[in-house]
Amino acid sequence: MATLTYDEEAQALCAQVGYGDIWFPDKGGSTREAKQICAECPIATRCLEVALANGERHGIWGGVSERDRRKLAQGRPTGPEREHGTARGYRQHKKHGEDVCKACDAAYSVYQREHREARERRAVAA
């Protein structure tokens, strides 16, 4: 189970503003305020990585809603322009000289870690 370190939690803006209802909106409720705070958070990418790794099903994590995390986990695009939240989306951003969004950055980090671990397992097995 992936977790945030104590230092990461201390840097998290959500911890500084409080763990209120904005992080866990009712179905159909607004996610705007939480996403705006996450957009400024220094650990938002790491937060999203943890949520994706743990299959977190509730709340806003790293600026990404429950619905969009489900799409990310299924490898489906979350937006029309890029396949956000995927390693391919990350490469699309880079190819077009764009800033990489947090969802794509987190997905690419997970992709890299999974492939590194797979290579290490193959090396040990050989």
Please list the pLDDT of the chain residue by residue as tens digits (126 residues). 778 888 888 899 988 887 778 899 888 888 888 888 988 899 998 999 888 888 888 999 999 988 888 887 777 655 545 577 888 888 887 877 778 888 888 889 988 999 899 899 889 887
What tokens were used for 50?
A: 């943890």
Q: What is the pTM of this model?
A: 0.58
What is the domain extent for residue 63? 6-125
Asked, for residue 102, whether it belongs to a domain, the answer is yes
The count of domains in the chain is 1
Residue 1 lies in a domain: no
- Identify the CA nearest to 2 among candidates 41, 46, 35: 46
**pLDDT the model gives residue 96:** 73
pLDDT score for 79: 52
What pLDDT is recorded for position 60?
Answer: 93
Q: Which amino acid is at 102?
A: K
CA distance 114 to 108: 10
Tokens of 72: 């990310």
What pLDDT shows up at residue 42?
A: 92
Residue 80 has a pLDDT of: 47
Concatenate the DSSP letters of all residues of 41-85 into one string: -TTHHHHHHHHHHHT--SS-BTTB-HHHHHHHHTT--SSSSS-TT
The whole-angstrom separation of Cα 64 and Cα 98 is 19
